[in-house]
Amino acid sequence: MFNINHKKGVIAILTGGGDVPGLNPAIRAVTIRALREGYQVIGIRRGWRGAISIIRDDKADNSENFQVLTEEIVNRAGRTGGTFLHTSRTNPPKVKKEDVPEHLQDTYNQDRNDLTPEVLKNLAWLGVDYLIPIGGDDTLSYGVRLYREGIKVVAIPKTMDNDVPGTDYCIGFSTCVSRTIELVNRLRTSAGSHERFLVLEVFGRYAGFTAMLPTMAGAANRCVIPEFKFNIEQLTELMVEDRKRNPSKYAVVLVSEGAMFQGGEMVFQTATTDAFGHAKLGGIGDLISAEIKELSAKFNRGKPINVINQRLGYLVRGGDPDAIDSIVPMAYGNLALDLILQGIHGRLVVLKNGRYDNVPLDVVTASKKTVNVDKHYNKERLRPRYANFQMQPLFIMTSE
């Protein structure tokens, strides 16, 4: 067993999946509170990758796999974006042969390998009493697996898509929306100068929240989302009308990366998939740009309208967290510690209807969280539906 001189116990924390602003504030909140309550805190590096790679030998160099956290370490990183623990998309139950850590390759040599037994042994060797994974539904679904294997798990939801079930809010979403609005406002000056369409592709594989909220806030005229397959002629006609009504003669559409044409499917960059079986999305914005330029002549007296096409990508997930993604992670971290101090586990900390709370962890695997199209999306106008805002949550359409 790894020799850590602890008082109450050991808490391990990790970040998995894509980076977002707000991860470091969450790590900081957990660590500072835990240390002051008498716990030791271990940061597992590179998400589940670090958890499968630990060498259970006191003399081994595990600096790439975990580190003991201190107030000095987390205070230095706590105001910054990204995750200083680093991250990966490793899925321990399905590790490819070539991705098995070197010291385990003799034991695990199938095309796909379940390294969960190693994760369990590694956590036991570290003396971990509680595990706090911070991630989206992929990362947290494995947290559910570990909980069923007997690990005491308290999870924190993170994803800029805001699509983890059970919570109105996931770390990273507010900064993503803020960045999207900011970048649209920068690019609209060029669109107006050249009297063009502005097509911006944003994150959102299965859920369209990152396109819907900026559009509702006035950043775009239209948005197309994964939950509703759109008609390209309908979109083009609406965009031409938007441009005509605009004194600066331009129009803006936000395109979720998972959006689909009527009769079509998702557009992928490559056929390869990550450890959770997801192919890399990207390219629907390019296709829409080409189509609306060609079709625009039909609705613009025979004259095609040029397009500025931009994939916002990592620009919306980089940099420092905004105010909400500084405050909510602090609260989530402390909520996790509240549960641990009460001896409660198997829970996901959440925001529901403006209140901090917790729900059973298996909600992550029991359902999907997507935009309620009938309630929040105007299929005829291809934009958010405005209705009664009374008693709605902060981000309007994030409740299930």
Of 387, 375, 398, 399, nearest to 160 (Cα)?
398
> Which residue carries 């959006």 as its tokens?
259
362 is an active site residue: no
**For residues 143 and 157, is the Cβ–Cβ distance under 8 A?**
no
The two structure tokens encoding residue 171: 């770390």
- Sequence-distant (≥ 6) Cβ neighbours of residue 48 within 8 angstroms: 14, 16, 88, 90, 91, 92, 119, 139, 142
Angstrom distance (rounded) from CA 82 to CA 214: 22
- Sequence-distant (≥ 6) Cβ neighbours of residue 88 within 8 angstroms: 16, 46, 47, 48, 49, 50
Amino acid at 136: G
Alpha helices by DSSP H, 149-299: 173-194, 209-216, 232-245, 284-299
Indicate which residue of 137, 138, 161, 163 is catalytic.
161
Catalytic amino acids? 161
